[in-house]
């Protein structure tokens, strides 16, 4: 992953790979620092949930919007603060069914300068090793609202609104390889 920069444009169902050594993001979108996992299998970004800072895994494989770790939920008393009333199925991963989660509507989720009002989130109910390290997970429901560029070599994630798409200027575009995966 560190050899390439990757642009994900879910509106056009495109993933574009750029050679990492020559890539420099030139668009008008906001760039945010990334935190790379030491094992190379993940990237994190800082964000805020209702004004509370945390570090989130950026997970394009998570089809739901966000989830918050049980440790973060407990430390910040989010079940009562968010008036959680609905608890249910939380998905299935490699290890089988996930424990149930509370479904809530956050007041605000903020990534960089962008503030998203009222996204739905899952509040995890069970501890695991993931919960000890991160606040939560940002999935497709949030990521699909933008064109996201991940540049691991320079530890930067850039996001821009779809309306900015026409104004984008990316260096090394001629070196890009386009893939059209099925999304959804």
Consecutive 10-residue averages of pLDDT for the chain (184 residues): 80 86 82 81 89 91 83 94 85 67 92 88 78 81 85 82 39 42 48
pLDDT of residue 176: 47
Phi first, then psi, for residue 68 (nearest 5°) are -115, 135
- Count Cβ neighbours within 10 Å for each residue of 57-94 and write b for 16 or more, e otherwise: bbbbebebbbbbbbbbbeebebbeebebeeeeebeeee
Q: Could you tell me the CATH number of the domain that includes residue 131?
A: 2.40.70.10
pTM of the predicted model as reported, rounded to 2 decimal places:
0.78
Q: How many domains does the chain have?
A: 1
Q: Which range of residues forms the domain containing residue 88?
A: 4-179
Do 162 and 11 contact (CB within 8 A), yes or no? yes
- Is residue 184, in this structure, part of any structural domain at all? no
Examine residue 38 and state whether it is found in any structural domain, yes or no.
Answer: yes
Nearest to 147 by CA among 166, 164, 160, 163: 160
Quote the pLDDT of residue 76.
95
């Amino acid at each position: 992953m560190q050899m390439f920069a990757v642009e994900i444009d879910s509106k056009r169902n495109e993933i574009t790979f750029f050679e990492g050594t020559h890539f420099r993001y030139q668009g008008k979108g906001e760039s945010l620092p990334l935190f790379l996992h030491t094992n190379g299998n993940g990237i994190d970004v800082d964000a805020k949930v209702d004004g509370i800072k945390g570090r989130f895994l950026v997970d394009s494989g998570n089809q739901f919007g966000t989830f918050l770790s049980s440790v973060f939920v407990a430390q910040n008393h989010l079940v009562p603060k968010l008036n959680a009333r609905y608890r249910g199925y939380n998905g299935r991963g490699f290890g089988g069914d996930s424990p149930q989660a509370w479904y809530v509507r956050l007041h605000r989720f903020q990534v960089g300068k962008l503030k998203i009002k009222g996204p739905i989130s899952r509040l995890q109910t069970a501890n695991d090793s993931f919960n000890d390290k991160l606040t939560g997970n940002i999935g497709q429901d949030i990521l699909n609202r933008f064109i996201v560029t991940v540049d691991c070599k320079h530890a930067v994630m850039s996001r821009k609104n779809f309306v900015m798409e026409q104004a984008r200027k990316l260096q090394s575009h001629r070196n890009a390889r386009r893939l059209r995966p099925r999304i959804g």
